[in-house]
Amino acid sequence: MSIRLIGQASLMGFSLALFMAPTGAVGESIRVMRGEAASALQVPMNRAVVVESDTPFAELSIANPGIADISTLSDRSIYVLGKTPGRTTLTLLSADGRLISNVEVQVTPDIAEFKERLRQILPAEKIEVRTANDGIVMSGTVSSIARLDRALDLAERYAPGRVSNLMSVGGTQQVMLKVRFAEMQRSVSKSLSASLAARGTAGRAGVVGGTGNFTGSGAIGTVFDGGSFPINAQSAGALGLGFSAGSMQFAVLLEALESKGVVRTLAEPNLTALSGQEAKFLAGGEYPIPVRDDDGGISVEYKPFGVELNFTPRVVDGDAINLTINAAVSALDSSIAVQASGISINGFKRRETSTTVEMRDGESFAIAGLLQDDFRNLKGQVPWLGDIPILGALFRSADYNREQSELVIIVTPHLVTPTRGEALALPTDRIKLPSEKEFFLFGKVAGGDRKAPKGAAGEVARQDFTAPYGYVME
């Protein structure tokens, strides 16, 4: 026996109301015919179709009632209701027990409503929807990741955990991140100290004493025996005075120090990455650190330092860019050192930030700012004598130290597309090696301007890069 697909006819008012949806037909009825191959019956889940047989049947059965449910409308009509996505078999038998036909019933998710909702929510997107086994397959091209996520979220409502995503994202999906690290450090130190030494006799008693630098071994005898004053090597200026009063000799040493320093650090790394992919950048170096292993041996590990940048861009909608950024500025700190196995290891000074921001093409954010102000006053004096007004200055020393630093990190993302290699200029395009005449006679370390190439690269190479930007700063 066989089956032939035909269009749904007006079987009866009751069946028409049950089998037809307001937006159109939800399935096709089939007619069982003798002498023809059987066709598969497609039944949307929670919808129904009618099977008509040209031969009256006496018995019918469904292999898996959990997938589809059946009921008879007459001895030639069968009502098939889809329950769960899957495949099963409908069997029809005649009154004499002979097989009329086996009908393959395939219940698929109902995607008619899903397609309609998809067109309402994302009308401009070209998305194709198909069924596969008990799931939904989505293909086509969408304009952004955000809209792709919306389409997938909607599909999960109709087929939870059974959605296959074959869609691709069109448009520009490469992001160049321009980051500016700017740091200013300023330090001011001032120091003023006084040292006093005395030697002689007072009546029958001998007197020897000193403060400050004269407390060192032999310093008092040296200065009174014609030697030099014990001046601190770090002093920027010193004044020594010696005088005597009767049998007493006095020496006074005044030392002063004032130092100022400014450090400017600027780095502008530019890095390009595909949307959703991580990119890394390091401008600096690696510091070797000895590490003792379990066997007692010494191995070397390297710790990176300098300007570090890790970021992951995601183009979420049009020109909106989501950025996950890890940025750090680190340097060796010689003021902190650790001795291990006769090896001196310096410490690190590190400032870092980790954040996620969202902005549009060309917009900028200051993602981090650090203002640090360290202030220290230190006074040392001889007890009680240093508290004497005016004269007490000879018995005390004072140190003043202030360090200020400010770090700012600014990020600017750009959507970029590739260009032809001929249009890109290199730092070496404008410089050539000097001739012997130019080097020895005129002291030039670079020869005359190299002849610019033709085309777009030549136009870029002829531009002026001598200002404080570009490849070479003069």
Nearest alpha carbon to residue 196 among 148, 157, 152, 240? 240
The pLDDT, as a whole number, for residue 411 is 92
Considering the entire predicted model, what is its pTM?
0.57
The pLDDT, as a whole number, for residue 147 is 83
Nearest alpha carbon to residue 430 among 449, 402, 405? 449
Show me where the domains of the chain are located: 37-108, 111-169, 263-379+399-416, 419-473
The pLDDT, as a whole number, for residue 356 is 93
CATH architecture of 111-169: 2-Layer Sandwich (3.30)
Nearest alpha carbon to residue 383 among 371, 396, 399? 396
Question: What do you get for the CA distance between the two ends of the chain, in Å?
Answer: 93
- DSSP per residue, 191-225: EEEEEEEEEEEETTEEEEEE-GGGGSTTHHHHHHT
Which CATH fold topology does 37-108 show? Answer: Immunoglobulin-like (2.60.40)
The pLDDT, as a whole number, for residue 6 is 31
pLDDT in tens, the chain (474 residues): 333 333 333 333 333 333 333 333 334 456 655 545 457 788 888 888 888 888 888 888 899 998 999 988 888 888 899 888 888 888 888 888 888 888 888 888 778 888 888 989 888 888 999 887 778 899 988 877 778 888 999 998 888 888 899 988 776 678 999 999 888 889 999 998 888 888 888 777 788 888 888 887 778 878 887 788 888 877 878 888 888 887 888 888 888 888 888 888 788 888 999 888 999 989 888 998 888 787 877 888 899 999 899 999 988 877 889 999 999 989 888 888 887 667 788 888 888 889 999 999 999 988 888 888 888 898 888 888 778 887 787 788 888 899 898 889 999 999 888 877 766 767 676 677 888 888 888 888 877 655 655 665 565 555 555 544 454 444
d(CA 345, CA 300): 12
d(CA 386, CA 196): 12
Whether 37-108 shares its CATH topology with 111-169 is answered: no
The pLDDT, as a whole number, for residue 433 is 82
Non-local (6+) Cβ contacts of 323 within 8 A are 177, 311, 312, 313, 314, 356, 357, 358, 359, 411, 413
Can you state the percent helix, strand and coil of the chain, rounding each to 5? 15, 55, 30
- H runs (alpha helix) in 94-183: 112-121, 145-158
Strand partners, 91: 61, 102
